[in-house]
Amino acid sequence: MNLQQPNANDATRTANRSRNVSPMSGICTRCIDGCRGNCEVFKATFRGRELLYPGPFGSITAGGDKNYPVDYSHLNIHGYALGAKGLPAGQVGDPDTARFPNVNTETSYGWDKKVKMQVPIFTGALGSTEIARKNWEHFAVGAAISGVTIVCGENVCGIDPELELSSSKKVKKAPDMDRRIETYKKYHQGFGEILVQMNVEDTRLGVAEYIIHKHKLETIELKWGQGAKCIGGEIKVSSIERALELQKRGYIVTPDPSDPVVEAAFKERAIKEFERHSRLGFIGEHEFYAEVDRLRKLGFKRITLKTGAYGLRELAMAIKWSSKAKIDLLTIDGAPGGTGMSPWRMMEEWGMPSLYLHAAAYEFAKKLSDRGERVPDIAFAGGFSSEDGVFKALAMGAPFVKAICMGRALMIPGMVGKNIAQWIKDNDLPKTVSEFGSTVDEIFVNYEDVKKLVGNKEIENIPLGAIGIYSYSQKIKVGLQQLMAGARCFNVDSITRNELMSLTEECAKVTGIPYLMDSYRDEAMKIINS
């Protein structure tokens, strides 16, 4: 059985000419000399390396579609006909108290100094990609009013055209980072936080020093990797001047904009854009502890770590070293993940898929915990978009997993809200939206809630993408309350692995979650035999 067919995908804006395709190569069974397109090989014939990436850069996000042998759909959620765990202290569960709107979806993370969130979700790293930059206001205000954390990704200072460096090449002024932090803080409601991610280039530029001295941020994130790829963060720039500037700031820029041949090709418009790449990191145990120590001495109250879909060795390092370094949140992002820019075939074919990675993470965390070693709070990431996924991930990783990191899914409402604003202005609402009305308060079901939250006057300044994210987070929250009530878990901490069953023997073997015909069998037999 083929799990993923290459050579044509909407991500690379390609398609096979024929309906009949060889599964392994993805090449049409009848490949014709004279074909006018449009498979990946056809297009790579004249656009070459451009075909490595989903596109167009800046207006899309991409997620891989390899159909792995086992994924979260192989788990189902239990519902029970009795019981109520996690009700407020002293409250007895009965049909009047154990109502689904009473379910508490609040969560928190942190080794000592906890950060509370109203819903157990937070944004993936929104970094230097164009789609993160141009939609930031929507994402940041949306996360703030939803009471969840937002992660500002790597390289934000490094690519800022208005960045000012000191004589020692450290960040002196970074207006885009300032804007990002201030936007979130302005609407912060006491839940969640903004934290900033840091990679090799950010470390060299002194981003940590800048954000703590100027903005007094409490949390910074070290970055080992992500689910979408295992090379550094990437963006595209379309001017040779920008490409040269980024090269001067220490980034890897391809093709080399200082090469006269490349310059000539750019002038001829054969080369239309440049790629800016970050460096590969090299992790080491003592270097990791030293860096955590340095950041704590700078004044950060919390240090978090994000790791990617690496194999079991690096996963063990992430969990063990985080335990020893008292890391405040460890985010474990599985393949294929989502992205603003990552090599398409890498997304499809690299790394540990989310379910496998998360299953191993639980196994490793449990091993440490059983030996009396404290496990840091964990977040799972890598392909989640709905409340059932959030529930399953919380249960799979219980009691270690406190929240789910969502990338693409949490970005969509920001973009949709922004576009609705434009469509209203242009009197061009699509029918999918106009069937609910033509004004903001008619279209957005949570408009009045947000107005109540920020005030009658301030609502005028709230971007519609933010109201979109609020509405979506409410959908996740209420859906989660329903699933949790069904599983008789009235707060996040009361969710356990027992709330899940495996639909296949293979899933049971990978995850350790019992096969559905074995789940609760002992309890059932006791009743039958009584």
Partner 1 sequence: MADAWKFGLQHVDRNDLVSLTREAAEVAGIPYIMESDMKDAERILCNGV
Of the pair 231, 265, the CB lying nearest partner 1 is at 231
Task: Compute the least distance from the CB of residue 352 to partner 1, in Å.
Answer: 7
- Measure the CA–CA gap between 12 and 345, rounded to whole angstroms: 10
Angle made by CA atoms 121, 467, 404, in degrees to the nearest 5? 5
Interaction site with partner 1 (CB under 8 A): 3, 68-69, 229-231, 280, 285, 311-313, 315-317, 319-321, 324, 346, 350, 352-353, 356, 359-360, 364, 367-368, 510
Helix then strand then coil, % of the chain, to nearest 5: 45, 15, 40
Task: Compute the least distance from the CB of residue 334 to partner 1, in Å.
Answer: 12
Of the pair 315, 485, the CB lying nearest partner 1 is at 315
Give the N- to C-terminal CA distance of the chain in Å, as an integer: 46
Question: Residue 454 corresponds to which tokens in the numbers above?
Answer: 């920020």
Amino acid at the residue 275? E
Give the number of other Cβ atoms within 10 Å of residue 268's Cβ.
Answer: 8
Of the pair 3, 24, the CB lying nearest partner 1 is at 3
Task: Compute the least distance from the CB of residue 353 to partner 1, in Å.
Answer: 8
Of the pair 77, 317, the CB lying nearest partner 1 is at 317
Give the H or E element holding residue 457. none
Of the pair 62, 315, the CB lying nearest partner 1 is at 315
- Measure the CA–CA gap between 417 and 219, rounded to whole angstroms: 29
Question: Residue 391 corresponds to which tokens in the numbers above?
Answer: 């529930």
Of the pair 185, 320, the CB lying nearest partner 1 is at 320
Q: Please, is 65 exposed, middle or buried when counting C-beta atoms within 10 Å of its C-beta (0-12, 13-18, 19+)?
A: middle
What b/e sequence results for 427-459 when a residue is b if at least 16 CB atoms lie within 10 Å of its CB, and e otherwise? eebeeeeeeeeeebeebbebbeebbebbeeeeb
Of the pair 68, 423, the CB lying nearest partner 1 is at 68
Task: Compute the least distance from the CB of residue 506 to partner 1, in Å.
Answer: 8
- Measure the CA–CA gap between 517 and 314, rounded to whole angstroms: 34
Closest of 152, 130, 283 to residue 210, by C-alpha? 152
Q: Please, is 522 exposed, middle or buried when counting C-beta atoms within 10 Å of its C-beta (0-12, 13-18, 19+)?
A: exposed
- Measure the CA–CA gap between 42 and 38, rounded to whole angstroms: 6
- Measure the CA–CA gap between 302 and 221, rounded to whole angstroms: 9
Q: How far is CA 150 from CA 17, 132, 214, 225, 278, in A?
A: 43, 12, 19, 17, 22
Task: Compute the least distance from the CB of residue 223 to partner 1, in Å.
Answer: 16
Of the pair 69, 479, the CB lying nearest partner 1 is at 69
Task: Compute the least distance from the CB of residue 504 to partner 1, in Å.
Answer: 12
Alpha-carbon 454 to chain mean position: 27
- Measure the CA–CA gap between 503 and 271, rounded to whole angstroms: 50
Of the pair 353, 468, the CB lying nearest partner 1 is at 353
Of the pair 353, 465, the CB lying nearest partner 1 is at 353
Task: Compute the least distance from the CB of residue 49 to partner 1, in Å.
Answer: 14
Task: Compute the least distance from the CB of residue 69 to partner 1, in Å.
Answer: 5
Question: Residue 523 corresponds to which tokens in the numbers above?
Answer: 């309890």
Give the H or E element holding residue 488. none
Question: What 3-state class would DSSP assign to 246?
Answer: helix
Is residue 347 within 8 Å of 229, Cβ to Cβ?
Answer: yes
Task: Compute the least distance from the CB of residue 350 to partner 1, in Å.
Answer: 6
Task: Compute the least distance from the CB of residue 363 to partner 1, in Å.
Answer: 9
Task: Compute the least distance from the CB of residue 497 to partner 1, in Å.
Answer: 17
Of the pair 121, 335, the CB lying nearest partner 1 is at 335
Of the pair 188, 320, the CB lying nearest partner 1 is at 320
Task: Compute the least distance from the CB of residue 319 to partner 1, in Å.
Answer: 7
